Amino acid sequence: MSTTHPASHTIERDAVIGYGLARAVRAPSVHNTQPWRFQVTGDRIAVRADPSRRLAVLDPHGRELVQSVGAALLNLRVGLAARGWDAEITRLPAPADPDLLAVVRAVPGDASPALAALDPVVALRRTNRRRFEPAPLTDSELRTLAHITADEGAALVPVTSEEHRRLVARLVQRADVEQNADPAYRAELRQWTGRPKDARDGVPAAAVARVDRTPVGDLPLRDFDTRSRAALPAETGSSADQPLILLTTPGDEPIDWLRSGEALQRLLLELTRHGYVAGPMTQPIEVPLTRSQLRSALSWGAHPQMLLRVGRAAPTPATPRRGVADVSRGGLAPADLPESEG
């Protein structure tokens, strides 16, 4: 009978966890705030929210912060699966410690093939704000996306009827106007779009569209061009005629926010794997009145967590990232903490 030497197992385990963390830090987050921290103890990874990175104006209750950490948790699971390891997860394990969102135990074997298949596209996924080419999702693709979303505790609602598309357009427009009329919102936006050139967080000018204050589509993208330095063309062609999908959860508590982040990232990776790009249209979900209207019209009592436009477009540059060593602590040696790919 062959046995694995304990020291060899520890070296392999730490390398696997290091790889998983390198995948985790590639997750999308609201305004690229990267509001996560990880603590490694043996075979366990504590996945924590970093409340210092919460957007006080845009996200007063921390819903999008928790959702962002959920996306990082999904990437961690993908990274472990790619190395042949499973993730045993306890979500929200300590009510007295609300920033501790999950504890992941890395277990050799029984890796999910479906998650492992997503690993090659983790570094390719981008939030894309370019003009999308018409690319309707097929019924088969929508069924697949609905299935994987359900696996993660959420539901997918395609926005298909003309009535619902026009309603969504009106709600996006209304929420966008309300947000931009708030000086505190604009100030917070500037904080995360005017980062120094060597910053490893925030939304860079290379990834956003120019804004010249003229209508560029009936689904206005968020105006990240706070300093008139944007590199992408203003003509985004963002339209209610493009594929739109709404992500919902049965509840609206931190566990639902976390699961919606996992579902969102799995959905985004699956879209990337099939050659699609996606961009969030979160304004109507961030404004309470429009979120309520969206819920009443489209989600049959479930809670809207993300609205996406989907299509095909040329790639955009990678956003800056903090390295694994910047957001983790614990028992891993420096050699086990690879830098992110940028």
CATH code for the domain in which residue 105 is found: 3.40.109.10
Q: Using alpha carbons only, what angle is made at residue 80 by residues 76 and 82, rounded to the nearest 5 degrees?
A: 115
Task: Looking at the structure, tell me whether residues 294 and 331 fall in a common domain.
Answer: no
Name residue, tokens 């928790």.
Answer: 66
Same domain assignment for residues 222 and 110: no
Give the residues across from 280 on adjacent strands.
308
Whether residues 274 and 328 share a domain: the answer is no
Indicate if 173 and 221 belong to the same structural domain: yes
CB atoms closer than 10 angstroms to residue 214: 6
Give the distance from CA 294 to its chain's centroid. 21
Residue 341 lies in a domain: no
Q: Residue 84 corresponds to which tokens in the numbers above?
A: 């042949």
CA distance 59 to 296: 22
What is the chain's length? 342
Contacting residues for 57 by C-beta, under 8 A, at least 6 apart: 182, 184, 185, 187, 188
Count the domains in the chain. Answer: 2
Range of the domain at 258: 139-311
Residues 67 and 175 occupy one common structural domain: no
Residue 272 lies inside a defined structural domain of this protein: yes
Instruction: Give residue 265's pLDDT.
Output: 98
Give the pair of three-digit tokens for residue 176.
Answer: 């966008």
Q: Which residue has the tokens 């920033």?
A: 99
Instruction: Please report the pLDDT score of residue 232 as a whole number.
Output: 40
3-state secondary structure of 280: strand
Q: Are residues 287 and 155 in the same domain?
A: yes
What integer pLDDT is reported at residue 172 of this predicted model? Answer: 93
**One pLDDT digit (tens) per residue for the chain, 342 residues:** 445 567 788 889 999 999 999 999 999 999 999 999 999 999 999 999 999 999 999 999 999 999 999 999 999 999 999 999 999 999 999 999 999 999 999 999 989 999 999 999 999 998 877 777 878 899 999 999 999 999 999 999 999 999 999 999 999 999 999 999 999 999 998 888 867 778 899 887 654 445 554 545 677 777 765 554 444 444 555 556 688 999 999 999 999 999 999 999 999 999 999 999 888 999 999 999 999 999 999 988 899 999 999 988 888 888 889 999 999 988 665 544 454 443
The answer to whether 32 and 202 have CB atoms below 8 angstroms apart is yes
Q: Is the domain of 69 the same as that of 109?
A: yes
Are the CB atoms for 264 and 246 separated by under 8 Å?
no
Residue 38 inside a domain? The answer is yes
- Has residue 215 been placed in a domain? yes
Could you tell me if 30 and 167 lie in one domain?
no
How many Å apart are CA 256 and CA 253, to the nearest integer?
A: 5
- Say what the pLDDT of residue 317 is: 80
Whole-angstrom Cα distance, residue 307 to residue 293? 14
What pLDDT was estimated at residue 146? Answer: 97
Number of C-beta neighbours around residue 166 at 10 A: 12
Kindly state the tokens that stand for 134: 């018409």
| Type of residue found at 228 | S
Q: How many CA atoms lie within 13 A of 339 on its CB side?
A: 6
- Cα angle 201, 207, 212; round to 5: 120
- Give the single-character DSSP code of 339: P
How far apart CA 89 and CA 143 sit, in angstroms, is 26
